[in-house]
Amino acid sequence: MTLLLEEVYKLQVLDLDILSSSKLLSDIKYKISDKKELDSLEEKLNINSSNLKKLQVMKNNVELDVASIQESVNLISKKIYGGSIKNSKELIALDGEKNFLEEKISDNEDKLLKIMMKIDSFEKLINSLNKRILEVNNKKQSDLPALIDKEKILVNKINELKSIRKEILPNIRQDILMMYEQLLKSKDGLAVVKVIRGKCEGCRISIPSADLQRVRNSSTIIRCSTCNRIIFSD
Domain range annotation of the chain: 27-169, 173-232
Average pLDDT, the chain: 94
Mean pLDDT of 109-119: 98
Q: What is the pLDDT confidence band of residue 54, given thresholds at 50, 70 and 90?
A: very high
Contacts of 109 (CB under 8 A, 6+ apart): 66
Query: Looking at the DSSP assignment, which residues form a beta bridge with residue 200?
Result: 195
State the pLDDT at residue 132: 98
**Tell me: the pLDDT tens digits for 169-198?**
999 999 999 999 999 999 999 999 999 999
Q: Are the C-beta atoms of 78 and 131 separated by less than 8 Å?
A: no
Domain 27-169 has CATH 1.10.287.1700: yes
Residue 30 has pLDDT above 70, yes or no: yes
**Tell me: the pLDDT tens digits for 130-175?**
999 999 999 999 999 999 999 999 999 999 999 999 999 999 999 9
**Tell me: the pLDDT tens digits for 72-93?**
999 999 988 888 888 889 889 9
Mean pLDDT of 29-44: 97
Full strand arrangement of the beta sheet holding 222-223: 199-200, 192-196, 230-232, 222-223
Q: Is the dihedral of CA 214, 219, 225, 229 positive or negative?
A: positive
